[in-house]
Structure 1
């Protein structure tokens, strides 16, 4: 049995183990609407989708959980979460504990269905075991209790450990945390960052070279670069990904296709 990852666009992935009626599914950061185009119409960055959602919330299979890494709308989308949780009454939602109130508002879910997580927490959803890690979306931000507003997750299933960083840049101690967890595959955002986007409220992420460097430093053998191809102002050109340089660092790069599925396997 292998772990499969279907790219839903931006930072969204559907993780699946098993086949047919025995399959189990989990989502991370699904953005399956056009809510941002409505929110930002007429602004500097109008957030018009370059590609349509590959599936609607109603078209998804029964899910064990939805993981949201933080409260930005392309990662915690009310137009995705509300119909999805309404259609699947057993479905659970996980998010950073620091943004729990926002997750409840955006999902319209009962508090009993939402798991607020802090860095270091572990939780299981059927065959998926999830470990929460801190993330730095340009910076690491914490509330008065010390809980992170931005998280990444290591999801283990079928003997494979997959790291989804959420929106993130390199920060001190990150590679060491990941090395200790023996991660097999990293799903990392590679749309980069700059002062123009930040000045207009769009904090950034790794660039491709930084993503490769993190994988090399943490001993992660496979990189899946994402968070590109959704918005014209906040993307990266996959033709510029230096796969040869990554290979020299011992990192195999799996460039995803929109709505395509990758088989993710432990290679250690």
Structure 2
């Protein structure tokens, strides 16, 4: 079991005590694709998987035992302004966590693909708190600018309820974070990222394989593809994700390959242990 660097009450105290200066934001990685972003005037939680729900409900042939211990209990997260879920897979839209957050952060909004709006309503989020998104949706929430864009995982899979897999740009006008959820590399992602000056790009790196595809796992970009995307998009800093949760759906050497490729190609990148804070400063500052 991978232990968070900071967890529980100590991490909650750090979250509450963070006071990012204007033009900066503090980031915590929470495992899998989960990140918490503290801007000067708003707090955002993206793709939190804080339970053991996957292991509890998914039987053979799936093995969803956690490799990384959850750093937080969602009942302690009462300071959120915005929750974002990139798509409705259980490790990105975690029902027990999302249900708890509806109660614990009653002033928060939740942004999800349009195809997920009904599900989060069933999990306790009132209709007026749900921002239903699709490719190209823009919104302003708690002083933040939010924009969603379609990503492929393995494909775009757009249908009558819109694109089920979305990437996100969120920022306060001075600092911008891009979060890709689960995604394969595609020119449309590069085009979407080009609409903003991205200070931190959070990308999956667990890749794909025929064996995992046969077991029902959709694919993501691999370590080298993630670095190439970061380079082509001009992101100022890149954070790898989606490599530390389920042994059945990772490449064991993905993180090492990502770090090696980033160094070889001169791409600014940071590996962030779960529970450690990272301060990013917007290039617009």
- SS at structure 2 position matched to 1:233: helix
1:91 aligns with 2:113: no
Assess if the C-alpha contact under 8 Å between 2:197 and 2:283 holds in 1. no
Alignment partner, residue 110 of structure 1:
126
Query: What's the offset of the Cα at 1:61?
Result: 4.0
1:62 aligns with 2:84: no
TM-score by length of structure 2 reads 0.86
Query: What's the offset of the Cα at 1:242?
Result: 4.5
CA deviation string 1:53-81 (max 9, x = no partner): 10001122411010010000111111101
Q: Would the alpha carbon gap of residues 206 and 254 (structure 1) be closer, same or farther in structure 2, given more than 3 Å must change?
A: same
Alignment partner, residue 234 of structure 2:
219
Alignment partner, residue 248 of structure 2:
233
Query: What's the offset of the Cα at 1:250?
Result: 3.6
Alignment partner, residue 265 of structure 2:
249
Q: Which moved more, 1:239-248 or 1:218-227?
A: 239-248
Alignment partner, residue 170 of structure 1:
185
Alignment partner, residue 136 of structure 1:
152
- SS at structure 1 position matched to 2:249: coil
1:6 aligns with 2:23: no
Assess if the C-alpha contact under 8 Å between 1:25 and 1:61 holds in 2. no
Question: 2 CA distance for matches of 1:241 and 1:266?
Answer: 27
Question: 2 CA distance for matches of 1:158 and 1:263?
Answer: 16
CA deviation string 1:148-170 (max 9, x = no partner): 11101011136111110110001
Alignment partner, residue 38 of structure 1:
56
Alignment partner, residue 74 of structure 1:
91
CA deviation string 1:99-145 (max 9, x = no partner): 3223323x222222111011111112223211111111111111226
Q: Would the alpha carbon gap of residues 30 and 239 (structure 1) be closer, same or farther in structure 2, given more than 3 Å must change?
A: closer
- SS at structure 1 position matched to 2:202: strand
Assess if the C-alpha contact under 8 Å between 2:53 and 2:94 holds in 1. yes
Question: 2 CA distance for matches of 1:227 and 1:239?
Answer: 10
- SS at structure 2 position matched to 1:253: coil
5+ residue gaps, structure 2: 1-20
Question: 1 CA distance for matches of 2:208 and 2:29?
Answer: 22
1:194 aligns with 2:206: no
CA deviation string 1:1-42 (max 9, x = no partner): 221111111001110023xxxx5311001111000011124x
The number of equivalent residue pairs is 261
Query: What's the offset of the Cα at 1:48?
Result: 0.3
Question: 1 CA distance for matches of 2:108 and 2:191?
Answer: 33
TM-score by length of structure 1 reads 0.91
Runs of 4+ in 1 over 6 A off after TM superposition: none
5+ residue gaps, structure 1: none
- SS at structure 2 position matched to 1:220: coil
